[in-house]
């Protein structure tokens, strides 16, 4: 192995002079350039896909948490049957290492009326246990409301509802709720305006004090619609749900966010197919480019092959010489491909140069998400797959006759 590696290294050191004479330099440069572009495209494709998936997932989760606990008989609608918040399982669930936070909530459907405009909405009632980090991130105007012992009329509304209803921070408006077939009007005022870009959710949810829902439904202050749980690792959502389900009575059920919105998460999973196709095609093209370059290298070194065979080298030893040389060239392409792909990605991540129409993509700019494991797999996979595919063209060495090769010019 050391002998073949030494010969390959000597070929590399004298590569420039021989390439100038034989004219193979442009071929090698094109092959390396193809790998550079291919690796950069793969890194950016995966970074954009995972960035897009993470952004959409985080937005959907922000409206409903990772897992919800409700009464088992509750219908799958906007409103829930009451559950006493003083449950023994709450402390058990909080102690699970999978669980990040737990809070209570209750929904109430209604109609927002402002002058001649009306809009169907869902008031999501929360209290002091609610984690406002998500809405703080997407807050455009005003402030996050504070809920405590005394009932508050302040609510958080979306920018799309505010625009449609011509509302601003500090404005008051009326919402009509139906309870026992009777309209129950409630007056609120706008504490803050948020915009996540998810139109289906932004056009629906108002975030307000849970005490309004409790009073409208005739519940006492210990009754809530359910519990929302956030976990540390979304990739282990199914396992986390099973662990939580084991700690609750049979009268209650758990529902994960992907079960509540299967169409959205199925659509996001379909995006993986696009990247698999792109990565496969790029690796195939890169391997074909290197195959062409390797064949030219072998033909360019025909005399050397004849001399090595005459000195007693077997075919596989000579094949390994060219494989080492090809691996060296592939490594150069992978290195500069990483520089190009990561560089462009970090520029987009920091400056957001490429914008997106929010109404179509739910995002204002192309998202970027770099994960070290993805980059390592792409680099190692490209090197290994290209090298394996290059074993086939090296078999041309076995057909070269030492006598004819030494005379070859």
115-141 residues labelled b (16+ CB within 10 A) or e (exposed): eeeebebbbbbbbebbbeebbeebbee
The pLDDT assigned to 409 comes to 54
Predicted confidence (pLDDT) per residue in 344-392, tens digit: 999 999 999 999 998 888 899 999 999 999 999 999 988 888 888 888 8
Q: Is 78 exposed, middle or buried (0-12, 13-18, 19+ CB in 10 A)?
A: middle
Q: In this structure, are strands 182-194 and 172-179 parallel, antiparallel, or unpaired?
A: antiparallel
Q: In this structure, are strands 205-209 and 117-126 parallel, antiparallel, or unpaired?
A: parallel
Q: Is 279 exposed, middle or buried (0-12, 13-18, 19+ CB in 10 A)?
A: buried
Q: What count of other Cβ atoms lies within 10 Å of the Cβ of residue 196?
A: 25
- Which residues in the chain show pLDDT less than 50? 19-21
Cβ(365)–Cβ(54) below 8 Å: no
The pLDDT assigned to 67 comes to 96
Can you name the residues that pair with 132 across neighbouring β-strands? none
Cβ(66)–Cβ(254) below 8 Å: no
Predicted confidence (pLDDT) per residue in 27-86, tens digit: 788 888 888 999 999 999 999 999 999 999 999 999 999 999 999 865 556 778 899 999
Residue 178: what are its φ and ψ, rounded to 5°?
Answer: -110, 120
The pLDDT assigned to 387 comes to 85
Domain-wise residue ranges, the chain: 2-59+265-407, 73-249
The pLDDT assigned to 166 comes to 92
CA distances from 243 to 64, 239, 377 (A): 19, 6, 31
Q: In this structure, are strands 154-158 and 182-194 parallel, antiparallel, or unpaired?
A: parallel
Contact residues for 108 (Cβ-Cβ < 8 A; gap 6+): 78, 79, 122, 123, 125, 177, 212, 213, 216, 217
Distance CA(237)–CA(256), nearest Å, equals 8
The pLDDT assigned to 255 comes to 93
Distance CA(162)–CA(175), nearest Å, equals 14
């Amino acid at each position: 192995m050391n002998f073949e590696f030494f010969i390959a290294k000597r070929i590399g050191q004298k590569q420039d002079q021989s390439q100038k004479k034989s004219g193979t330099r442009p071929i090698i440069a094109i092959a390396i350039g193809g790998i550079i572009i291919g690796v950069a495209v793969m890194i950016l494709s995966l970074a954009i896909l995972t960035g897009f998936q993470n952004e959409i997932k985080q937005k959907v989760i922000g409206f409903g948490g990772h897992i919800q606990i409700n009464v088992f008989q509750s219908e799958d609608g906007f409103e829930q049957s009451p559950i006493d918040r003083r449950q023994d399982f709450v402390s058990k669930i909080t102690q699970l290492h999978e669980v990040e936070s737990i809070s209570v909530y209750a929904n109430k459907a209604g109609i927002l009326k402002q002058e001649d405009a009306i809009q169907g909405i869902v008031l999501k009632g929360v209290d002091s246990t609610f984690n406002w980090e998500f809405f703080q991130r997407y807050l455009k105007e005003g402030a996050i409301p504070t809920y405590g012992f005394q009932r508050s009329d302040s609510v958080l509304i979306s920018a799309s509802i505010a625009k449609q209803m011509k509302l601003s921070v500090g404005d008051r408006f009326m919402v009509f709720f139906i309870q026992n077939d009777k309209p129950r009007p409630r007056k609120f005022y706008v504490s803050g305006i948020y915009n996540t870009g998810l139109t289906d959710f932004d056009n629906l949810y108002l975030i307000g004090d849970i005490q309004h829902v409790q009073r409208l439904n005739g519940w006492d202050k210990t009754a809530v619609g359910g519990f929302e749980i956030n976990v540390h690792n979304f990739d282990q959502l199914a396992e986390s749900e099973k662990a939580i389900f084991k700690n609750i009575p049979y009268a209650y059920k758990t529902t994960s966010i992907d079960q509540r919105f299967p169409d959205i998460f199925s659509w996001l999973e379909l995006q993986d197919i696009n990247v698999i196709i792109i990565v496969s095609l790029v690796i195939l093209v890169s391997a074909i480019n290197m195959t062409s370059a390797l064949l030219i290298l072998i033909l360019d070194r025909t005399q050397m092959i004849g001399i090595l065979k005459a000195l007693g080298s077997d075919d596989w030893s000579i094949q390994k010489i060219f494989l080492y040389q090809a691996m060296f060239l592939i490594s150069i392409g992978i290195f500069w491909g990483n520089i190009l792909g990561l560089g462009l990605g970090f520029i987009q991540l920091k400056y957001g140069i490429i914008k997106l129409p929010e109404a179509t993509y739910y995002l204002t700019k192309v998202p970027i998400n770099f994960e070290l494991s993805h980059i390592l797999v792409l680099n190692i996979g490209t090197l290994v797959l290209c090298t394996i595919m290059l074993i086939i063209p090296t078999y041309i060495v076995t057909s070269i006759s030492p006598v004819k090769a030494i005379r070859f010019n």
